[in-house]
Amino acid sequence: MPNQLFHIFRNSPQGRETLLQSLYFCKAVETSMVIYIPTHKKFLMYLENGIVQVDLDKTYLASPETAIKHAVELVKNMGIKARFLELEKYSPSKLPDIKPKFDFMCCPRSISDLSSKIGLGYIGPRVRHIVNSARFPILLTSPAFKEWQNIAVFFGGSVNAVNALHLGLRISRISGVPVEVFTQIENVARESYENIIEKNNLKKEINHRVKKWHIFERGNFEENLYHVPHDALVVVGAFGHNLLKDIVFGNKMEKIQSTLPNNLLIAGPNYTE
């Protein structure tokens, strides 16, 4: 079965931009798409590491008479293979349910809050829960459609950072888009990062696919984010902690998502190749 990206369509200008980002991603990485046009404001996702109840804001149910038409037009124009998901199974709570067997999922920064509340630096709790529970990467889109010509991977030496590096290199192999790696050195020698690369048998492919490794030994991390190309797909590993009503990512991940306007491809703590 070919790779699949799961997309929840919102029939609005904002939803159009998000679908265009998904379609472009699928075209670049040779992935088909599964599109769900909601008929209910709530549904359940049965992920490998937990059940997520997705609460959509009311804009996802807007103008149902034109939703399929608009989505089909965008898919056709991009030339992507896509199928539309119709939910027939219902959970004991009488909510539609999805047991995703996807390879990627696209989300805006929030799927359960009105768009007037959403800004850079805000990722809704439902999206955070999906990131932390899913074994597949999550594509968080920028507000407006933009093609990406680079892949920027953040590598800090952790297990999640190694996963993100694997993911970025995989996207590069398929798409042919070059990779740039970004590392902020903190309290360890530069050689430590190189040793981690060798230990994970990544040195050969990095030498082949990475056009530049940006290693910052000085300066503020947020200021150094300026060097990330504006037309890059940013790939980053995230880990989360359950804190009352929200799920907080790692410190670096929070700074990246609150500073960069780029599309983000996130490998959560349960992501597996």
Tokens 């952790």: give the residue.
Answer: 158
**99 and 158 housed in the same domain:** no
**pLDDT value for 130:** 84
- What's the pLDDT score for residue 115? 46
Task: Report the C-alpha gap between 183 and 179 in whole angstroms.
Answer: 13
Give CA–CA dist 233/29, Å, rounded: 12
The tally of domains found in the chain comes to 2
Residue 145 lies in a domain: no
Q: Is residue 234 part of a domain?
A: yes
pLDDT of residue 95: 79
Residue 41 and residue 103 in one domain = yes
pLDDT at 245 (0 to 100): 36
Which among 110, 91, 107 is positioned nearest to 99, based on CA atoms? 91
Q: Do 10 and 84 fall within a single domain?
A: yes
Range of the domain at 247: 150-267
Cα separation of the two ends of the chain: 16
Domain limit, last residue, from 140, 164, 182: 140
Encode pLDDT of 44-54 as tens digits: 888 877 788 88
- What was the pLDDT predicted at 266? 93
34 and 60 co-located in one domain: yes
Q: In terms of DSSP bridges, do strands 240-243 and 232-237 run parallel, antiparallel, or are they unpaired? A: unpaired
Return the CATH number at 224. 3.40.50.620
Q: pLDDT digit string (tens) for 211-239? A: 999 999 988 999 999 999 999 999 999 86
For residues 133 and 180, state if they share a domain.
Answer: no
Is residue 179 a contact partner of residue 235, using CB atoms and an 8 Å limit?
A: no
pLDDT < 70 positions in the chain: 1, 88-93, 109-124, 239-250
In the chain, what's the furthest Cα-to-Cα distance? 59
Query: Are both 37 and 76 inside the same structural domain?
Result: yes
219 and 166, same structural domain?
A: yes
Is the Cβ–Cβ distance between 113 and 57 less than 8 Å? yes
Contacts for 134 with CB less than 8 Å, ≥ 6 apart: 47, 48, 49, 100, 105, 268, 270, 271
Clarify whether residues 117 and 161 are in a common domain.
no
Strands across the sheet containing 138-140: 82-85, 32-36, 4-8, 104-107, 138-140, 264-267, 232-237, 150-154, 179-184, 210-216
10 and 123 co-located in one domain: yes
> How far apart are the C-alpha atoms of 251 and 217, rounded to whole Å?
18
